[in-house]
């Protein structure tokens, strides 16, 4: 089919439909459907809700320091490290723990310069941002350091003049402050002080040996030993004085300790004490004996008495001896020294025995060097007796006895001492039976026989023995048994007991 016929056919097909009028065409045009508004409303509502939630949630960025609270004050010259800080985007309802946000820190602290410094931390996310600041003060709170040049010299007064060996002072902020040091010389040394520009104060002290080697001297008028008779004499202070090489007359500073009761026999010690301005202490002691008139010994003519006496203890065997005496309820007398266990003196007294003084040192060359030396020795041992028993004793046995010949180098000393001690209220005792145990190696059997032989001839036997000898303690039980079986009474000595005085040869 050619092109023309094809066109004709087409035209003929198109013309086969009935023609439409304009009114007819409008009536047959399809009607458009109206669009729904619901999706738009939902979207808008959701957006509003999200906006409200966003506002209510209150998003913000918070910057927080990590670890311990950051320092706000730093010492000059010290060290400082800026604290670690982290930033978080947080909300009230969601993201309460936050989402970490990167931070930037600016500012620094110069610890070598006193002043105020500000450190700043910043963080931002989306349209949120935050800033945190920390003010740090670098302060000078360290005092200067004072260095003293060593000095070991002694300055003996009153002629010693102090010569400072030198010192220096340095402050970390102010530098050398030696010229600001204040120096004060005191009795016990030198004080150094300095203050820096920040008000920090440093001090140092140098102990200087300002030495006063001399103590004051106390002089007792009337002597160091006085004797009074109980009920007859009155004690009046004889007087005293005290002088010091630096302080001069210090008599008014003397303190007296102790008192004298003239109504009661006893041994009284008055201690005079004074100190100088350098702490040197001086003491002097006055011994006052208030003596009772000694009573004569009275015994039954039909009785026989043995007074066992033990010298030189307490010793190694004294405790064992006391046990034996307690077994037979026998009381004896101990003339003691300072050389053993002093607590045994107390036991002797507590168990009913008599305690007398013998000697403190038991050194004849010391004891009999002079009258004063003997009295000093006597006082010292009696102080031990009082410390252990609570009271002084007036029973005495001279070292070596009153008839000793070892004191011959000091002519007449035994005659003087025998008189003196009785004036002081003491009663001295010798012996009329010697056990023979003073030899270097005594035998038990010999001791027993010597005591038996000596006592058999007397009504009143004062027996010399030594509780520092092993053989004596071994023999004592046999002696006691013999005495009791033969009608002897064992007694301790007292002031009215037989004295058995020897003839004095010096």
CATH at 110? 2.60.40.10
Q: How far is CA 225 from the centre of its chain?
A: 39
In a domain, 2, yes or no: no
Give φ, ψ of 38 to 5 degrees. Answer: -60, -45
Token readout for 480 is 């006691």
Q: Residue 5: is its pLDDT beyond 50?
A: no
pLDDT above 90: percentage of residues in the chain: 62
Q: Residues 403, 485: one domain?
A: yes
Residue 481 confidence (pLDDT): 86
Q: Coil, strand or helix: which one is 480? A: helix
What is the value of pTM for the model shown? 0.51
Q: Residues 196, 105: one domain?
A: no
Q: Residues 330, 281: one domain?
A: no
CA 335, CA 360: separation in Å to the nearest integer? 11
Q: Which of 493, 473, 230, 504 is nearest to 356 (CA)?
A: 493
Q: Residues 177, 222: one domain?
A: no
In angstroms, the Cα distances linking 131 to 134, 228, 295 are 10, 100, 110
Summarize pLDDT for 266-285 with one digit per residue, the tens.
678 899 999 998 889 999 99
Summarize pLDDT for 387-427 with one digit per residue, the tens.
999 999 999 999 999 999 899 889 999 999 999 999 999 99
Q: Residues 386, 242: one domain?
A: no
Q: Residue 104: is its pLDDT beyond 50?
A: yes
pLDDT category, 35, cuts 50, 70, 90? low
CA 489, CA 493: separation in Å to the nearest integer? 12
Q: Residues 406, 465: one domain?
A: yes
Residue 186 confidence (pLDDT): 83
Overall number of domains in the chain:
4
Highest mean pLDDT, choosing among 295-304, 308-317, 487-496: 308-317
Token readout for 161 is 């003049």
Residue 16 confidence (pLDDT): 46
Q: Residue 11: is its pLDDT beyond 50?
A: no
CA 400, CA 384: separation in Å to the nearest integer? 21
**Other C-beta atoms within 10 Å of 487: how many?**
9
Q: Residues 348, 379: one domain?
A: yes
CATH at 357? 3.20.20.370
- More confident call, 190 vs 94: 190
Q: Residues 113, 149: one domain?
A: no
- More confident call, 297 vs 312: 312
Report the range of poorest mean pLDDT among 52-61, 277-286, 298-307.
298-307
pLDDT category, 453, cuts 50, 70, 90? very high
Range of the domain at 453: 304-490
Please give the angle made by the CA atoms of 124, 125 and 130, to the nearest 5 degrees.
35
Report the range of poorest mean pLDDT among 77-91, 260-274, 282-296.
282-296
In a domain, 278, yes or no: yes
Beta strands in 157-213 (DSSP E): 167-171, 175-176, 182-186, 189-195, 201-207, 209-211
């Amino acid at each position: 089919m050619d092109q023309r016929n094809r066109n004709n056919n087409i035209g003929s097909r198109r013309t086969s439909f009935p023609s439409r009028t304009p009114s007819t065409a409008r009536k047959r045009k399809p009607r458009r459907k109206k669009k729904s508004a619901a999706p738009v409303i939902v979207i808008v509502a959701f957006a509003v809700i999200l906006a409200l939630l966003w506002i209510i949630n209150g998003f913000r960025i918070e910057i927080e320091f990590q670890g311990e609270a950051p320092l706000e004050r730093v010492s000059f010259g010290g060290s400082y490290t800026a604290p670690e800080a982290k930033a978080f985007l947080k909300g009230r309802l969601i993201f309460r723990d936050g989402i970490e946000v990167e931070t930037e820190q600016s500012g620094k602290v110069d610890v070598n310069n006193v002043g105020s410094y500000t450190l700043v931390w910043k963080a931002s996310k989306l349209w949120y941002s935050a800033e945190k600041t920390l003010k740090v003060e670098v302060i000078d709170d360290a005092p200067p350091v004072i260095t003293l040049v060593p000095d070991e010299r002694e300055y003996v007064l009153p002629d010693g003049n102090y010569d400072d060996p030198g010192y220096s002072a340095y402050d970390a902020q102010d530098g050398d402050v030696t010229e600001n040091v204040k120096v004060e010389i005191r009795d016990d040394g030198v004080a150094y002080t300095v203050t820096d520009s920040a008000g920090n104060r440093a001090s140092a002290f140098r102990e200087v040996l300002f030495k006063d080697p001399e103590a004051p001297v106390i002089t007792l008028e009337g002597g160091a030993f006085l004797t009074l008779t109980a009920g007859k004499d009155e004690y009046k202070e004889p007087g005293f004085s005290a002088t010091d090489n630096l302080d001069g007359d210090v008599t008014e500073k003397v303190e007296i300790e102790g008192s004298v009761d003239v109504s009661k026999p006893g041994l009284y010690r008055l201690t005079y004490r004074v100190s100088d301005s350098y702490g040197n202490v001086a003491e002097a002691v006055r011994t006052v004996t208030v003596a009772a008139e000694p009573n004569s010994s009275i015994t039954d003519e039909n009785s026989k008495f043995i007074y066992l006496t033990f010298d030189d203890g307490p010793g190694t065997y004294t405790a064992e001896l006391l046990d034996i005496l307690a077994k037979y309820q026998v009381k004896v007398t101990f003339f003691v020294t300072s050389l053993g266990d002093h607590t045994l003196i107390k036991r002797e007294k507590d168990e009913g025995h008599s305690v007398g003084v013998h000697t403190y040192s038991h050194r004849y060359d010391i004891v009999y060097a002079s009258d004063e030396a003997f009295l000093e020795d006597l006082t010292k041992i009696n102080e031990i007796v009082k410390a252990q028993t609570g009271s002084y004793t007036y029973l005495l046995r001279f070292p070596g006895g009153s008839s000793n010949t070892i004191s011959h180098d000091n002519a007449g000393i035994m005659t003087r001492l025998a008189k003196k001690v009785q004036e002081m209220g003491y009663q001295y005792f010798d012996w009329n039976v010697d056990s023979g145990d003073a030899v270097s190696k005594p035998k038990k059997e010999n001791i027993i026989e010597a005591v038996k032989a000596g006592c058999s001839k007397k009504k009143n036997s004062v027996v010399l023995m030594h509780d520092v000898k092993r053989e004596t303690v071994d023999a004592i039980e046999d002696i006691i048994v013999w005495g009791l079986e033969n009608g002897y009474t064992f007694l301790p000595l007292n002031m009215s007991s037989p004295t058995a005085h020897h003839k004095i040869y010096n």
